[in-house]
Structure 1
Amino acid sequence: MSLSVGDVAPEFSLPDQDKQVVSLTELRGAPVLLVFYPFAFSGKCTGELCQLRDELAVYTDAGVRVLAISTDPVFSLKAFRDAESLTFPLLSDFWPHGTVAQAYGAFNEKAGMAVRATFLVDAEGKVAFAEVNSPGDVREQSGWKSAVAGLAA
């Protein structure tokens, strides 16, 4: 079951593409956009993350940290980040496989992958926006931007 607006966001610590551990607890005090995606290098995921890269200032100018999370290993994430010039951390929920995605209700157990889910966590650690898309559905990022604007208001 996915998280809802108002729920406390589950804490996590995951390695990024450079094997540096990123912890949600350490980011407390600032909003964080969590973008779960199935696989590095897949067409739809690449398109979504490249759009996020191109529009990153919408989030960073509002003080929002952006973290993308998949069940890919760190080595794949490093290659993906380099190939697409992504400038935000790509976190690996590889092992234990999908534990963080499961905690957020963003894991497809049968396929062993994260689903397309997005959560905006406010500065106090509560979910301010939650969206879980069906497999294969590309996300419309206008909802994320509206949620970020709502935090700033």
Structure 2
Amino acid sequence: MNTSPSVHHASPLQPGAQAPDFTLPATPDQTMSLSELRGAPVVLAFYPADWSPVCSDELGLFNAALDMFKHYEAQLVAISVDSAWSHAAFSTQRGYHFPMLADFEPKGAVARSYGVYRAAEGVSERALFVIDGAGFVRWSDVSPISINPGVDGVLDALQRLAPTTQQVLS
């Protein structure tokens, strides 16, 4: 019996954990590291695959919410196991305005380090992490693959990180 947390029911990093640093392709010829974003909150959105209907809806919703994330000085970063070339085409076609990182090779290495890789399917969970400016996980959530989790949980977590701005979005 395989009891690995990466099979279907991932065990994501919990609040208080140090977020593992990574460097992944952001475009076919550029990379981005989590450590480059230190000093401000980061929203990591792991998703299963480019071009799938639920992923398209989820990332479209996040794209529409970018001004709300920016209010908290938070950077949204999406990650899947697809290639940088697939991300480039997907992002251009959908009009996304945030980095999409390729956890392509070694496949799912970053998703594994966050406890959200689905080894049986070779994709990541639909998982969200809010990381504070010091690099610690402050909130995490794993949703069923077929469900768009929306942005409310992320916005609540960002609001808790910035108590002086609580009333602005109310």
Distance 2:56 2:148 in 1: 11
Q: Which residue does the alignment assign to 2:134? A: 124
Aligned-residue Cα RMSD (Å) equals 0.9
Q: Which residue does the alignment assign to 1:142? A: 152
Q: How does 1:10-25 map to 2 (within 5 A)?
A: 10-25=20-35
Q: Which residue does the alignment assign to 1:33? A: 43
Cα drift, residue 18 of structure 1: 4.5
Q: Equivalent of 2:125, from 110, 115, 119?
A: 115
Cα drift, residue 138 of structure 1: 1.9
* Number of equivalent positions: 153
TM-score by length of 2: 0.87
Distance 2:147 2:73 in 1: 28
What's the % identity of the aligned pairs? Answer: 37
Cα drift, residue 121 of structure 1: 0.4
Distance 1:82 1:118 in 2: 23
TM-score by length of 1: 0.97
| Unpaired runs of at least 5, structure 2 | 1-10, 164-170
Q: Which residue does the alignment assign to 1:81? A: 91
